[in-house]
């Protein structure tokens, strides 16, 4: 703060024109003035000093607040940059170095002459050779595993022969003689195709007059998983495996089938899956019973939006719980995050197991 030069009174303080005579309120004892009563100029200077001191304190408080906000914004910026440009895998590790997306990389301290420990480290020597990196894949000199055996696959035999113009000598034209044996080559192929099963059901007519049978007896139709459905068993096996084993949506499965000439409606498959649901309830109950006999689970839950109309439903925000044991995994869909966990604890109370959850 700048020093204020106070002009003191040099004239007679008892003069009625003197500035000291205008003041009627004495100052505190520690603010002594050569005039009695004190000068109005000194009083104004002290008031200004107190005002600017308060302004300085408010400025310091505002500066500290801005510094905190700046630090929070920088932390958010580092976090967003790490999410957008950072590595998505934790398998990579560079020893003795900071990655560009490291949050501590922006907080590098500045070097000062007073603190030798804060001086930057000397750059590595340019002549120092970097250690060779291990190449990916099969390493040279390591024991190989050989080719895989595909003899369990069915084989389709083909015969490859030379064309007539190549089955003779190119100089004299004499034909080649057949040499015993063949040179066999194996080529792996995948042949996926959709086809129609056209089943001809024979019909019979009774030759007796007993009247027990109808006039025409027809062979039974082929068995189907859903009665009167145009889809065979292989269609539903493909749908269930593709959805629940390979986690592919039904829309992509239909796009794959269209490339093979099969174009069923998505509504037909969806309605068929709903009709198959009662067939899986005994299997689901058996999985729960087997899971309750385990001794250790890993449990976790996540938000799950349910838009289907269910009796007694309140809101669309439900929770999907997973209980992962050593031999079985069970999923439980509940309308509240605590209902599935409470139900599971009650159901497994006789076994007295241990449950580990991410949300303790």
Cβ burial 51-85 (10 Å sphere, 16+ → b, else e): eeeeeeeeeeeeeeeeeeeeeeeeeeebeeeeeee
Helix boundaries (H) for 132-259:
233-244, 250-258
Residue 253 contacts residue 273 (beta carbons within 8 Å): no
User: CA–CA separation, 250 vs 240, rounded Å?
Assistant: 10
In Å, how far are 25, 86, 129, 311, 354 from 99, measured between CA atoms? 69, 9, 20, 53, 40
pLDDT at position 203 is 94
Check: CB of residue 342 under 8 Å from CB of residue 319.
no
pLDDT the model gives residue 309: 83
Task: For residue 35, count other CB atoms closer than 10 A to its CB.
Answer: 19
Residue ranges of the chain with per-residue pLDDT less than 50: 1-16, 18-31, 98, 101-114, 116-120, 352-353, 357-360
Residue 6 structure tokens: 């106070």
The pLDDT of residue 143 is: 83
337, exposed or middle or buried, with CB in 10 Å at 0-12, 13-18, 19+?
middle
pLDDT of residue 335: 81
pLDDT of res. 44: 86
Statement: the pTM of the whole predicted model exceeds 0.75: no
């Amino acid at each position: 703060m700048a020093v204020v030069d106070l002009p003191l009174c040099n004239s007679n303080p008892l003069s009625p024109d003197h500035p000291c005579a205008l003041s009627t309120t004495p100052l505190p004892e520690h603010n002594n003035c050569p005039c009695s009563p004190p000068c109005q100029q000194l009083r104004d200077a002290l008031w200004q000093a107190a005002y600017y001191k308060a302004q300085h304190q408010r400025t310091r408080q505002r500066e500290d607040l801005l510094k905190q906000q700046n630090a929070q914004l920088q932390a958010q910026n580092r976090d967003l940059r790490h999410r957008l440009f950072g590595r998505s895998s934790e398998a990579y590790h560079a020893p003795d170095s900071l990655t560009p997306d490291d949050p501590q990389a922006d907080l590098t301290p500045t070097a000062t002459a007073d603190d030798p420990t804060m001086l930057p480290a000397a750059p590595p020597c340019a002549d120092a050779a970097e250690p060779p990196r291990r190449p990916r894949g099969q390493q040279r000199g390591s024991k190989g595993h050989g080719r895989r055996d595909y003899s369990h696959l069915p084989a389709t035999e083909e015969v490859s022969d030379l064309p007539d113009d190549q089955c003779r000598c190119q100089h004299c034209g004499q034909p080649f003689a057949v040499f015993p044996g063949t040179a066999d080559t194996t080529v792996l192929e995948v042949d996926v195709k959709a086809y129609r099963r056209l089943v001809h059901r024979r019909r019979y007519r009774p030759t007796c007059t007993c009247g027990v049978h109808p006039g025409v007896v027809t062979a039974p139709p082929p068995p189907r998983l859903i009665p009167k459905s145009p889809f065979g068993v292989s269609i539903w096996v493909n749908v269930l495996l593709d959805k629940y084993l390979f986690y592919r949506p039904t829309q992509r499965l239909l796009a794959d089938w269209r490339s093979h000439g099969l174009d069923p409606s998505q509504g037909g498959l969806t309605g068929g899956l709903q009709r198959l649901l009662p067939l899986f309830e005994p299997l689901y109950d058996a999985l729960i019973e087997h899971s309750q006999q385990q001794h250790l689970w890993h449990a976790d839950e996540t938000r799950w939006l349910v838009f289907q109309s269910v009796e007694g439903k309140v809101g669309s925000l439900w929770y999907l719980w997973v209980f992962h044991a050593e031999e079985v995994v069970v999923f439980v869909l509940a309308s509240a995050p605590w209902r599935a966990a409470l139900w599971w604890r009650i159901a497994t109370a006789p076994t007295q197991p241990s449950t580990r959850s991410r949300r303790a």
